[in-house]
């Protein structure tokens, strides 16, 4: 089993950045550069990579490979390690997602349950969203952010849309970052509609420069943000602080 492919299949880029930060190495670069920095500069082995995962994620790996789930974290690590380093010839049917060629179309990518789905307008809210996701996950609050959690090779494909939509459905809360122009973002409207259709709890955070009375025209209704409890924020640090206060 190619270690790089395994890591790309089971690790998000933000997790690798957190790992590099933890060991005191530079966190910038492509996914492959982050992996290589951990492997060769930090001298991480497969055991180290697995040890950095939460036990719930290790259980998910065990379940995906039909391995026993139960016991302590080190038991899950050993089962996965033994499986990954064993002869994979008899397990090719389980490896469809991991060994696929780059750019190959597949079903929605390993949809995990998240506590929060972060919805934002790309051109005015991206910095807020990225800082928020990073800060939440440092506090062990799982947050989905499309630009970080959907593989780049899915961009422009139907798989990207499926993955995004399923992630909304599987998230506990829908966190809307209200920045300039949110009411005219087509993709954001689709996300809001899916969240409404699935009765998701809305958390609305509005930049302090905007009026609270913003109307968003959805498919079959008009949604007035003034009907929601809104929390105003003035910086990305302020946003993170207030979201953490609400979620704790």
Q: pTM of the predicted model, to two decimals?
A: 0.58
Task: Report the C-alpha gap between 63 and 58 in whole angstroms.
Answer: 9
Check if CATH label 2.60.40.10 holds for domain 114-247.
Answer: no
The phi, psi pair for 62, rounded to 5°, reads -60, -45
**What is the crossing angle of helices 13-23 and 122-138, to 10°?**
50
Q: Which two tokens stand for residue 148?
A: 């970080």
Instruction: For residues 123 and 139, give the distance between their C-alpha atoms in angstroms, rounded to a whole number.
Output: 26
Sign of CA pseudo-dihedral 11, 109, 130, 36: positive
> For the chain, which residues make up each domain, given as ranges?
3-95, 114-247
State both tokens at 149: 């959690």
Per-residue pLDDT of the chain (248 residues; tens, 9 = 90+): 567 878 887 888 888 988 898 888 888 888 888 999 998 899 998 989 999 898 988 998 888 778 899 899 999 999 988 888 874 444 433 333 333 334 444 344 456 788 999 999 999 999 999 999 999 988 889 899 998 888 776 766 678 888 899 999 989 999 999 999 999 999 999 999 999 999 999 999 999 999 999 999 998 889 999 999 999 999 999 999 999 999 98
210-238: buried (b, 16+ CB within 10 Å) or exposed (e) per residue? beeebebeeeeeebebeeeebbebeebeb
């Amino acid at each position: 089993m190619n270690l790089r492919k395994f890591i790309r299949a089971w690790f998000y880029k933000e997790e690798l950045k957190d790992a590099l930060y933890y060991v005191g190495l530079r966190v910038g670069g492509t996914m492959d550069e982050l992996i290589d920095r951990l492997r060769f500069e930090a001298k991480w082995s497969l055991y180290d990579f697995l040890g950095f995962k939460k036990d719930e994620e290790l259980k998910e790996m065990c379940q995906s490979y039909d391995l026993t789930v139960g016991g302590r974290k080190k038991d899950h690590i050993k089962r996965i390690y033994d499986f990954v380093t064993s002869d994979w010839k008899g397990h090719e049917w389980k490896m469809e997602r991991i060994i696929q060629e780059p750019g190959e179309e597949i079903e929605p990518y390993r949809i995990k349950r998240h506590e929060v789905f972060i919805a934002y307008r790309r051109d005015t809210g991206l910095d807020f969203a990225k800082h928020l996701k990073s800060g939440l996950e440092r506090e062990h609050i799982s947050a989905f952010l499309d630009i970080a959690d959907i593989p780049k090779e899915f961009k422009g494909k139907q798989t990207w849309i499926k993955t995004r939509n399923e992630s909304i459905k599987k998230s506990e809360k829908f966190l809307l970052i209200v920045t300039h122009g949110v009411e005219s973002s087509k993709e954001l409207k689709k996300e809001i509609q899916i969240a409404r259709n699935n009765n998701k709890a809305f958390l609305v955070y509005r930049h302090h420069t905007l009026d609270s009375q913003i109307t968003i025209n959805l498919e079959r209704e008009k949604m007035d943000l003034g009907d929601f409890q809104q929390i105003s924020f003035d910086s990305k640090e302020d946003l993170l602080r207030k979201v953490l206060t609400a979620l704790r």
